[in-house]
């Protein structure tokens, strides 16, 4: 029991990776389903970055609300951005979608 509590404390204490510093930020558009619903959304991606600062091997960590196309649009849009080089390791990218 004590070992499980210690392990949980260690896992919770793991630092978050530093934010991505963008030279040219991702360009995202509202997905059609989200526009029809008048919904805003938030997507968190985990991406690696190549030597040119382009996002590669991205996965959707969370998408709120699901099913309106925010995750798909975030994956498309993040490939259009360019981050500063020399940002090793996977990074989390948070993209906010707002209705106007």
pLDDT, tens digit, for every residue of 11-69? Answer: 555 666 678 899 999 999 999 999 999 999 999 999 999 999 999 999 999 999 999 99
pLDDT for 14 equals 60
Q: Is-contact 20 87, C-beta < 8 A?
A: yes
HSE of 87, CA atoms in CB hemisphere, 13 A? 24
User: Is a pLDDT exceeding 60 seen at residue 6?
Assistant: no
Q: Which domains does the chain have, with CATH numbers?
A: 20-97 (3.30.2420.10)
Q: Is-contact 95 62, C-beta < 8 A?
A: no
What is the phi/psi pair of residue 72, to 5°?
-60, -45
Residue located via tokens 């390791």:
89
pTM for the whole structure: 0.79
What is the phi/psi pair of residue 51, to 5°?
-65, -20
């Amino acid at each position: 029991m004590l070992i499980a509590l210690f392990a949980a404390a260690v896992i919770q204490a793991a630092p978050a990776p530093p934010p991505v510093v963008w030279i040219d930020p991702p360009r995202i558009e509202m997905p059609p389903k989200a526009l029809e619903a008048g919904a805003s959304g938030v997507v968190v991606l985990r991406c690696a970055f190549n030597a040119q600062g382009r996002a590669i091997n991205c996965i959707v960590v969370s998408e709120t609300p699901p099913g309106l196309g925010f995750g798909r649009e975030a994956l498309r849009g993040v490939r259009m951005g360019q981050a500063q080089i020399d940002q090793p390791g996977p990074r989390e990218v948070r993209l906010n979608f707002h209705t106007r």
